[in-house]
Amino acid sequence: MSEVDPHERAAILVEALPYIRRFNGCTVVIKYGGNAMIDPELATQFAEDVVLLHSCGIHPVIVHGGGPQIGDLMERLGKQPEFRDGLRVTDAETLDIARMVLVGKVNRDIVSAINVHGPLAVGLSGEDAGLIEAGMRHPDLGFVGDVKAVNPAIIQSLLAEHLIPVLSTIGSDEAGQAYNINADAVAGAVAGAVGAEKAIYLTDVPGLLRDVDDVGSLITAVTDGELHRMIEAGQLTGGMIPKIDACLEALRGGVPSVHLLDGRIPHVLLLELFTDTGVGTMITSDEGVREI
């Protein structure tokens, strides 16, 4: 790795200064998943970035998925996954597996990686303190849920204690029945409920592309109205639609901006928050440019 000139290092730090001031005291919800979670080096860098944000006075809230890890354990247990319209059919046994993986493994790994740098992270499930009230998506899907309501009290309590909440996406209904919920949807709902300044989605693509086969077609900034028109025109289809729906839900909840970032890029959170150019796609509720 080549050495960076000391003057360049100083310039980088100076460039970050207005952003550190701008976002000091703000809450940022980060949906964490994909290769950024699976690749050990990227996972270590993600934990470092989150701790740096915290050290700069930003309040990170981490929402994570774990679909590939659930699939791996199901395979080891000899259970064949079943999908309908891209959603995992979740019977009682699959729900138990999902809870074990999300709450007992993935969540603990993220908390441990952050706490290497100090006693900062606290693991949560959406079942804790009534955080996520869920409802059944469709009987054919079993225990796949949608977010009905978010009670952010426990998150706000942890943030007030200068801790970092790490949330796995198992929610429950009023009867205590647990449901597995899409992490993108949870992140959007939580961002609105906690009054986040930004919601950031780490993905396995550079951002929102006009042509999914052309990385050069990246859309760097777009409004919610433009997204609705793109969906109506059939320009956005398939797996990107649920993610965009989650982004729009965050905007409807009052979040000023939502960002789709390529989680495969080392330290992508810092590049987005602390540099002049930013990366990925920024989604806002009205026309504008990237703010300082």
Domain assignment of residue 213, yes or no: yes
Domain assignment of residue 131, yes or no: no
State the pLDDT at residue 242. Answer: 82
Read off the amino acid at residue 152.
Answer: P
State the pLDDT at residue 268. Answer: 93
Q: 275: domain CATH number? A: 3.40.1160.10
Q: How many domains are there within the chain?
A: 1
The whole-angstrom separation of Cα 3 and Cα 54 is 27
Domain assignment of residue 193, yes or no: yes
Give the orientation angle of helix 40-55 with respect to helix 107-115, to 10 degrees. 60
**How many residues in the chain?**
292
Domain assignment of residue 24, yes or no: yes
Question: Which residues, 6 or more positions from 42, have their beta carbon under 8 angstroms from its beta carbon?
Answer: 35, 36, 263, 264, 266
Residue 259 — φ and ψ, nearest 5°? -130, 135
- DSSP letters for 100-139: IIIIIIIHHHHHHHHHTTSS-EEEEETTGGG-EEEEES-G
CA 66 to chain centre: 12
Q: Which domain holds residue 60?
A: 6-74+95-119+185-284
The whole-angstrom separation of Cα 261 and Cα 273 is 11
Q: Which runs of consecutive H residues, i.e. helices, occur in the chain?
A: 6-23, 35-38, 40-55, 67-76, 92-99, 107-115, 153-160, 183-193, 224-232, 240-252, 268-274
- Residues taking part in catalysis: 31, 34, 67, 184, 243
Domain assignment of residue 225, yes or no: yes
Tokens 């992508």 correspond to what residue?
268
Convert the pLDDT of each residue in 90-117 to its tens digit. 999 999 999 999 999 999 999 999 999 9
Tokens 């059944």 correspond to what residue?
136
Domain assignment of residue 135, yes or no: no
Domain assignment of residue 271, yes or no: yes
Domain assignment of residue 150, yes or no: no
β 257-262/198-203 pair status? parallel
Residues in the chain, pLDDT under 70: 1-4, 86, 238-239, 287-292
- DSSP letters for 59-95: EEEEEE--HHHHHHHHHHTT----EETTEE-B-HHHH
Indicate the SS3 state at residue 200.
strand
Full-model pTM: 0.92
Tokens 């993935």 correspond to what residue?
106
